[in-house]
Structure 1
């Protein structure tokens, strides 16, 4: 588990992370989102002990990362795929990491096979493509078979096959009971991969909730519902904070996710014949809720903005 509590990081007069608090739990993929300059990378660096917090705590498995004797057995991380020695081959790079963390050498070949780099293992990393370096970085994160994994922009440079592979990998790791924490700018991938979202802006928490609930906060998001008990369901949804109106197809609910409607209907034994989200996407919700936290805006999105 990842636990961040009142985490703050200041650089002189500038505050990069401001009283941030959230928890990323085992068994799910948690997406970590925010505009450029929101403090995502600084938060990841503090989680890994690369930056010291000004105040607050960033814990992995209830301890600071530096307090884990063999870090790669507890936390696997990919922060910067290009931050490797280009003169080494891929296998030797992983062997050095394995030896320093007392990980069996056989594990090196296993992760190279898993990420699809077995055939390129003896090639120098300097000749790897960006996508190959990403795969090598993921292999390094998997090396210690850790319960917690952190990935910063893991899809950079990957082709469509690689994107599908990473998506399936994250889902599998979460299904095994691991904590998977993924920072990304790709909203479409978060929609297909994440169960839960932590969204920050200007170093502060904006949202910490299931993906479906976050998407439901976007402008224009609504859910079409058909049921033989419209009056009863309307009462349940209104009590849950939704706005409900009748439409020719049935009921249209605003301010509530399709998942939550399904849960309420199940709890109260209301039959549903159709449950269909419509309108806003995750990207719409993200743009709406982080609009005041964007550090740089283009000229046509904000008057007087900077490209």
Structure 2
């Protein structure tokens, strides 16, 4: 478990993280979202003790991470796939990490194979593609078999097979009861991977809730029905708590599920010629709810 309590980090007169209180729980993949400059990377670095907070506290399994005697056995992290010594081989890099944390050497071979880079273990890292470096970084995070895992943009540079592997890996790690905290700008991957979201903007908390609940807060989720009895059905749907926009025989319904709309039509013998459900988009909700927190906006084309 990761616990942030009133966590604050200031650089000069600017707050990068502002009074952030969040609990990242085990047993699920938690996505960490926010616009560029929102404070995500700074928060991850404070969790790992790489940056000291200006105020507040952050603990990993109840204590500051720096107090864990063998860090990789307690938390594994991929923060920057390029932050490795390029002259080392992949195997050599992991062996150094293993030795410093008293991890058996055979574990190095296990994670190399798990990450799909066993065949390249003897190659120098300087010759690796970004995708291979990402796999190596994930292997390093898994080296100590830790209960807590943090990943910053782990999907960058991966081919479709690699993306699928990472997605399923994170889910399996969470299913084992581990705490999995993933920061990414790829909304499609968050939709396919995360169960819960922590969303920040300008260093402050915007949302801490299930992915479904967050996506549902934005515009876009609706049910579309077409019926020759549009006026009667609209009255029934409004009475059941739905919002209805009518355009001839077509109704756009919000606030009710497709199943509920169909049940109401069936109960009152309203003929439907079309019923389709349009799920709320995580990307649309994110853009809407973080619009006031975007620090760097592109200008219009001239």
Q: TM-score normalised to the size of structure 2?
A: 0.85
Structure 1's consecutive aligned runs of 4 or more residues displaced over 6 angstroms after TM superposition are 230-235, 246-251
Q: Check 1:246–1:128 CA distance in 2 against 1; reply closer, same or farther (3 A cut).
A: closer
Aligned to 1:73: 73
Cα distance change on mapping 1:277 and 1:60 into 2, 3 Å = farther
For the 8 Å contact 2:30–2:195, the answer to whether it is kept is yes
Deviation, 1:107, is 0.4
**Matching residue of 1:269:** none
3-state SS of paired residue (1:77):
strand
Measured against aligned partners, the alpha-carbon deviations of 1:125-160 in whole angstroms (never above 9, x if no partner) come to 111111110000000000000111000000111111
1-side partners of 2:190 and 2:237: how far apart?
Answer: 31
Look up the match of 1:252.
253
Q: Give the equivalent residue in structure 2 for 1:205.
A: 205
User: What is residue 32 of structure 1 aligned with on the other side?
Assistant: 32
Give unmatched runs, 5+ long, in structure 2: 226-233, 264-274
Aligned-residue offset at 1:253:
3.4
SS for the counterpart of 2:37 is coil
Deviation at 1:21, TM superposition (A): 1.1
CA–CA distance in 2 between the matches of 1:196 and 1:59? 20
What CA distance in whole angstroms lies between the structure 2 residues aligned with 1:213 and 1:298?
29
Q: Which residue number corresponds to residue 86 of structure 1?
A: 86
Q: Are the counterparts in 2 of residues 222 and 279 from structure 1 also a CA contact under 8 Å?
A: yes
* Bigger radius of gyration: 2
Is residue 59 of structure 2 the alignment partner of residue 49 of structure 1?
no
1:6-63 C-alpha deviation (Å, 9 max, x unpaired): 1000111011000011111111100000000000000000000000000111111111
Aligned partner of 2:296 in structure 1 is 296
- CA drift of 1:224 comes to 6.5
* Structure 1, unaligned runs of 5 or more: 266-274
TM-score, with normalisation over the residues of structure 1? 0.84
- Secondary structure class of the residue paired with 1:135: helix
Secondary structure at 2:35's aligned position in 1?
A: coil
- The alignment of Structure 1 onto Structure 2 pairs a total of residues equal to 280
- Correspondence 1:101-250 to 2 at 5 A: 101-223=101-223, 238=241, 243-245=242-244
Most deviating of 243-252 and 43-52: 243-252
Aligned alpha-carbon RMSD (Å)? 2.7
Once the two structures are TM-superposed, the CA of residue 300 in structure 1 deviates from its matched residue by: 2.9
> For 1:50, what is the secondary structure of its paired residue?
coil
Shift of 1:249: 8.9
